Amino acid sequence: MPELITFSGPVRIERGPAPLGLTLHGQAGAAAGGEASTLAFTASAPEDLPATLEGAVVTRLEDGRYRIASGAREWRLAAAAVHLTREVAPQFYRALPPRKVPLLKRLVWRAVLALAAGRAGPWLLRALRR
């Protein structure tokens, strides 16, 4: 049984209309990088599934069936498809540091913001735009 995702901490359960009837929101475990993750099922949620779970583990079973385990409880459901998304922005911005803004552009925007903060600034900026 391949493990699909292990959440660490609280997992928020969202029930919705078809096609994505069940969505789990939480932090992936440390093995998966610990980023914010969302797992959406094209299935309706089990009736006794609570609104939040703690440290849920989702496992893929055979024939399009899945098991959601949290603590001593587990729920099984059949889904035609599963969609897993992970927030990768922190890793992306660590790999690609921001570009340094040119000095002239920084000075122009500082002057514009300082001008806008004064009493006559908004009037003058509107006049310049015309």
CA-CA-CA-CA torsion sign (43, 48, 53, 57): negative
Residue type, 47: E
pLDDT, tens only, 75-87: 999 998 999 999 8
> Which among 13, 20, 122 is positioned nearest to 80, based on CA atoms?
20
How sure is the predictor about 91, in pLDDT bands with cuts at 50, 70 and 90?
A: confident
The answer on 72 and 108 residing in a single domain is no
Structural domain includes residue 41: yes
* Domain that includes residue 121, residue range: 101-129
User: Which tokens go with 63?
Assistant: 């024939």
The answer on 107 and 59 residing in a single domain is no
Would you state the pLDDT for residue 60?
93
CA distance 23 to 95: 30
Would you state the pLDDT for residue 90?
81
The answer on 87 and 120 residing in a single domain is no
User: Which tokens go with 78?
Assistant: 């059949």
Is it the case that residue 26 has pLDDT exceeding 90? yes
The answer on 66 and 21 residing in a single domain is yes
pLDDT, tens only, 47-71: 889 999 998 999 999 888 999 999 8
The answer on 107 and 75 residing in a single domain is no
Would you state the pLDDT for residue 44?
86
Neighbours of 37 (CB within 10 A): 21
The answer on 86 and 48 residing in a single domain is yes
36 in Cβ contact with 85 (< 8 Å): no
pTM for the structure as a whole: 0.69
